[in-house]
Amino acid sequence: MRTILTSIALFFFLGSSAHAQRLELTVQDASPVYDPQTRTTILEIDLDEVSQIAFADFTSQNVGARIAIYIDDEIILEPKINEPIYGGKIQLAYKSDGAQEVASSLVAGKRIIWVSEIE
């Protein structure tokens, strides 16, 4: 089952230190898809195996917390984590202009996606 993240940051914070640490995620595949129900473009992102595990751990440790999802240094969403997210598939509402370019550059490793807890 795919989980739509409406307000999530992709940075991972290890432990319970006072400063949040950034979790960079490695994208295996990404593509823009038009959702006729919401009439928006969804950026579908598949994480590699290592990032799937890290993201699942991150969301498990942050149930109930708000996080931020970034692409490069731009906040894309700031969702609340309601439950752990397993499976390594992320769907982000994204403006249609440039979605294919963003997807391609994420797969090529030219752009960085990361998450962080919002303090």
Task: Compute the distance between CA of residue 51 and CA of residue 119 in angstroms, rounded to an integer.
Answer: 23
Query: pTM of the prediction?
Result: 0.76
Phi, psi of 51 (to 5 degrees): -70, -35
Please identify, in words, the CATH class of the domain defined by 3-14+21-117.
alpha beta
| Segments making up each domain of the chain, as ranges | 3-14+21-117
Query: pLDDT per position in the chain (119 positions), as tens?
Result: 333 332 233 333 333 333 467 899 999 999 999 999 988 899 999 999 999 999 999 999 999 999 999 999 889 889 899 999 999 999 888 877 888 999 999 999 989 899 998 87
